[in-house]
Amino acid sequence: MSAGSLTILVIDENRIRASIIEAGLRDAGHIHVTVVHDVAGIARRITEIEPDVIVIDLQNPNRDMLENMFQLSRAVKRPIAMFVDRSDQASIEAAVDAGVSAYVVDGLKKERIKPILDMAISRFNAFSRMARELEEARSELENRKVIDRAKGILMKSRGLSEEAAYALLRKTAMNQNRKIAEIAQSLVTAAGLLGPLEGE
């Protein structure tokens, strides 16, 4: 995605600081920049604007303000770059936990906006990829468990070997144009409805 096509939302109650961020973004070629000065109702504005990236600038954030922004970070599932004037270790850790992609303490300069934004996007993408791969691995493991259970049911009810049970599952899946795991899940569910099989 090119710089010009990104939609960027800047959340900043301080108009002067917001203009620094906006100037830095426009210098970097970003044309779809929306600046919001009031954090009230910000979740609704995010839904309306549907930004690709969010830049949050908090000049002197108190604990509540930070916590609100961290909750927002968890909810929106987008790259977020957050600028703060000062911070403590607990807030930095909370920012990481909340999924803030770039948390910058005392670094609001026009020329730094672009590299920080780029870093936020690449970090977010890397994290999203890891999360997706983890979910796929978990799903793969679940599928394997269901297939093993289905094979066990066929081996007991039809006196098949493990290879023959798997071959039957695969053939049924191909005939019905479905995944083996789906056929296995149907079989396991049906077996559960029919009650325990003899010998179980």
Q: Residue 184's domain is classified under what CATH number? A: 1.10.10.10
Last residue of one domain, picked from the residues 89, 108, 127: 108
Q: Does 158 lie in the same domain as 90? A: no
Q: Does 170 lie in the same domain as 85? A: no
Please indicate, yes or no, if residue 186 is contained in any of the structural domains. yes
pLDDT at 138: 92
Q: How far is CA 7 from the centre of its chain?
A: 18
pTM score, whole prediction: 0.63
CATH of the domain at 32: 3.40.50.2300
Q: How far is CA 178 from the centre of its chain?
A: 28
Strand pairing partners for 92?
none
* pLDDT exceeds 60 at position 76: yes
Task: State the residue range of the domain holding 95.
Answer: 3-108
Please indicate, yes or no, if residue 116 is contained in any of the structural domains. no
- The residue behind tokens 């983890």 is 134
Q: Does 152 lie in the same domain as 102? A: no
Q: Does 85 lie in the same domain as 42? A: yes
DSSP reduced 3-state for 79: coil
Express each pLDDT in 51-73 by its tens digit: 999 998 887 777 777 788 888 88
Last residue of one domain, picked from the residues 90, 108, 126: 108
Edge-to-edge strand list for the sheet holding 32-36: 32-36, 7-12, 53-58, 80-84, 102-105
Q: Does 95 lie in the same domain as 19? A: yes
Q: Answer yes or no: are the C-beta atoms of 147 and 165 closer than 8 Å.
A: no
Count the neighbouring beta carbons within 10 Å of the beta carbon of residue 186.
Answer: 15
Q: What angle do CA 91, 95, 97 make, to 5 degrees?
A: 115
* pLDDT exceeds 90 at position 93: no
- The residue behind tokens 């077996």 is 191
